[in-house]
Each structure stands twice: as C-alpha cells, then as structure tokens.
Amino acid sequence: MTNARTYGQMCPIARSMDVLGERWTFLIVRELLLGPKRFKDLVDALPTLGPNRLTTRLRSLEDAGVVRRTTLPPPAGVGVYELTERGEGLREPLVALGRWGLGLPPSPEIDPATTRVDLIALSISSVVAPDKLVGLKEIYEMHVGRETFHVEIADGRMLTRSGPAPVRPDLVITCRVRTFLKLIFGGTRAVDAVQSGDLQVALGGNEVVERAFDLMSDTEIDYPVYLGI
C-alpha cells in the first residue's frame, strides 16, 4: 500500500514533491534563500504557519538533507537554520517560480500590505546575467519602507540577503516601497529619483547607484500590477 504522504512514483518531479509538496515548505526554503534564520525569525516571517507546524516542516527538511542547524560565529553565537548545499540547489527553480509569479495580478484576497521588497529583489537579483557581473565585487545596503536587506555581488553572482550588510557596503540607500518598485520595474531612473529626493543615498556615488539599479531593473515585469501598494 502506498503511503498517503508520498506519490509512490519513481519520477524526479514526484520525488521532489514528496519532500517539498506540503503546505508552507516552499516558503520556509524561500526565507532561508535570504540567509540563515533563527526559529523566531521564521515564525515572524510566517506567522500563520505556527510554531508546531514549523517544527514539523523543519524536521522533514532536515531529514531530507535540505536544511541543517548550525550556530552563527561570534559575536552573534545564536542557533540558526540554513540551507545545505542540496538546499541551495533549490535557488534556481524557486527564483524562476518567483519571477513567474511577479507577473501575476494579485487576487482580491491578497493584502498589498504583505508585499516584501526583499523577496521581489530576490526574484530579480538572483537571475542577473553573469556577464554583467564579471569583475564586480560590491554590496548594496537597502532600507526600503520598514525593510532592511542587502545585495551582495561576488564570483559572478548577485544574491539578496536579509538584514544590514555584514561589512562596510559600497552603497546605502533609503526610499519608499513605491519608489523602489518604480526603480526596478522601469517606472523611473535612479538619477531622477535622487534629484527629486525620493531616493536618499547615505553612502556611494552616482555611478554605484546607477549600476545597482541597472542590474536590478526588470522592465519585462508589468509595474502597474503593484500600483496599489
């Protein structure tokens, strides 16, 4: 008899869904794509999941070799969950799924206030063409609305991470959510946003600002979808 928790098929897609198909599992992995997280961080990011179900999902992901527990080095020294190398293999397919979802109009049941620009940045920055990143090693710290996240460029990759930059960044900006969305979806240029005061630059010159938003811009996405924010 087939276990009700498995599709019982020797198919790569079915086997993947045996591990990832339960509700909330993809979103836990999504949060860990932004970097290691404490249990409390995951509870705060997924409040309707609940601690008990979160514990169960994390245990399943650990058993599957997707997630592991570790301790951050001093001075933090706190226990966190992070993706294993196998878990990191989910970055490309999940980001592709995120990019597909960027173009979907929100349904009436979705609250625009739940918009998180770090997740939008994740869906864009992770797929920047490698040839645009050759020779670049920079960190951009972004304060957008109530969020703070940073974007790291190194070794031909551009990754979005939670929280402030771990070292001195090359760029620090502050803006509203609406301004950020206009900048990355082609609604306005960085130089114009700086001149109007909509984009404040605390660290970094015009060249770095323009380069950062040129790399993160995605004019293929229909910006008006987000005008309700």
Residue boundaries of the structural domains of the chain: 12-89, 115-226
Q: At what angle do helices 177-184 and 117-125 cross, to 10 degrees?
A: 20
- The band of 224, judged by pLDDT with boundaries at 50, 70 and 90, is low
Give the residue-averaged pLDDT of 185-195: 89
Q: Give CA separation, 33 vs 40, 122, 226, in Å.
A: 16, 8, 23
The CATH-assigned architecture of domain 115-226 is 2-Layer Sandwich (3.30)
Please give the Cα distance from 16 to 12 (Å, whole number). Answer: 6
Give the residue-averaged pLDDT of 5-17: 86
CATH 1.10.10.10 matches 12-89? yes
Q: Give the model's pLDDT for residue 1.
A: 41
Please give the Cα distance from 95 to 142 (Å, whole number). Answer: 20
pTM attached to this predicted model: 0.89
Note the pLDDT tens digit of each residue in 45-98. Answer: 999 999 999 999 999 999 999 999 999 887 777 899 999 999 999 999 999 888
Please give the Cα distance from 112 to 91 (Å, whole number). Answer: 25
Find the range with the poorest average confidence among 63-77, 100-114, 201-215.
100-114
Average pLDDT, the chain: 89
Report the candidate in 52, 76, 79, 54 with the shortest Cα–Cα distance to residue 68: 79
Strand positions, DSSP E, 36-94: 67-71, 79-83
Give the residue-averaged pLDDT of 145-164: 94
